[in-house]
Amino acid sequence: MKLNVIVFFFLCSIWLLAGNVDTFIKAAHTQVGKTVTYNPEYVRLRYPMGDIDISKGVCTDVIVRALR
């Protein structure tokens, strides 16, 4: 599991360095106001592309949603 997370963030870093920063920033900006409740509770997700309710989460949830 930890290796999957490391690989995911490594690939995302490469994607951003490849010139997709503007796309990421626009996608992150669309998240403003959607995740309104901070909830650090651990939730088991479907794999792949599982997600929790968009109205709650932590900062990494917002980043992952923007990267998708």
Radius of gyration of the chain, Cα coordinates, nearest whole angstrom: 13
**pLDDT at position 19 over 80:** no
Domain ranges of the chain: 2-67
Predicted confidence (pLDDT) at residue 60 exceeds the cutoff of 70: yes
- Selection from 66, 57, 53, 54 nearest residue 12 by Cα: 66
Q: Is the pLDDT of residue 1 over 60?
A: no
Q: Is the pTM of this model over 0.85?
A: no
Residue 40 has pLDDT above 80, yes or no: yes
